[in-house]
Amino acid sequence: MSPDGLPPLREVIARYELAPRKSLGQNFLLDLNLTGKVARAAGDLTGATVIEVGPGPGGLTRALLMGGAAKVIAVERDERCLAALAEISAHYPGRLETVSGDALTTDFAALAAGHERVLIVANLPYNIGTELLVGWLTAEPWPPFYESMTLMFQREVAERIVAAPGSGAYGRLGVLAGWRTQARIAFDVPPQAFTPPPKVTSSVVHLAPRPEPLPTDARRLARVTQSAFGQRRKMLRQSLKPLGGEALLEKAGIDPTRRAETLSVAEFVALTAALDG
Ligand code: SAM
């Protein structure tokens, strides 16, 4: 038995035949100390509702429930995991709601409706992690339906999320995350902590929404950053040509010979405003 009175995860995986599938980004965390550390990185769970994507056999789910979450709403695409999750649900009556489906088409704001404090915590499938994050960062209205996000990514993706202007990792993701949140890497997780081990190191990222981000339209901001970083080694007057080039940059008060990675979030917002006006 594990400290929570449920069987060890290896036993659960064997009993329900949950051989990890690469196509579903299944790299499981089986060490309850580690899942506990991820849960603690989310902050105070007491009384909170946690939305988890991809509970799999339920290691992180169990840590969240043990950590005091009032409720976990877990969205899982792999139907093989549902029986294992039902066992956790029976152990914590009324506290685990499993949604069987694809996170990419899930209306998370609807899942969160009626819940007071909502935290998103997940060991994300690496192949859809960025897409999910962008969806949550561009949520409307703002402040969003969640109080914070605590998410596992590949280290290289985590570095792009928290990147500051001037660094090689700074790009579309850093601008979007920096615009709407304060993002930081909480800690790294080595490959051998997962079953099976992925090729690279992972990192847990904590993102806290800014209550009043600079006003701009997320889609237009995404358009500007995509264009600017599409040719990141070129000067902005070249890379932004399709959006207005030098005239646009002049309107925003930005030197057209600069490169995308030198622009602050505020300057990208100014560029987006110049595009609108
Ligand atoms: N939370 C578990 C853990 O930490 O051990 C599993 C994490 S594993 C990296 C990712 C999980 O996401 C798997 O359980 C996988 O089946 C699930 N998954 C993959 N694609 C998904 C999707 N589109 N929607 C919902 N869940 C998905």
- Its ipTM equals 0.99
Beta-strand runs (E) in 88-146: 96-100, 118-123
Ligand 1 touching residue 59 (CB < 6 A) = yes
- pTM score, two decimals? 0.97
From 60, 3, 65, select the one nearest 34 (Cα to Cα).
60
**pLDDT tens digits, one per residue of 20-34:** 999 999 999 999 999
Nearest residue (by CA) to ligand 1, atom 20, is 24
Q: Same structural domain for residues 239 and 256? A: yes
**pLDDT tens digits, one per residue of 203-248:** 999 999 999 999 999 999 999 999 999 998 999 999 999 999 999 9
Q: What is the mean pLDDT of residues 81-94?
A: 98
**pLDDT tens digits, one per residue of 176-202:** 999 999 999 999 999 999 999 999 999
Nearest residue (by CA) to ligand 1, atom 19, is 24
Domain CATH code at residue 113 = 3.40.50.150
Q: Is residue 251 in some structural domain? A: yes
Q: Same structural domain for residues 203 and 224? A: no
Q: What is the mean pLDDT of residues 39-43?
A: 98
**What are the Cα distances from residue 202, in Å, to 68, 126, 170?**
25, 10, 18
Domain CATH code at residue 222 = 1.10.8.100
Residue 277 in this model has a pLDDT that exceeds 90: no
Task: Please check if 156 is assigned to a binding site.
Answer: no
Give the count of beta carbons closer than 10 Å to the beta carbon of residue 109: 15
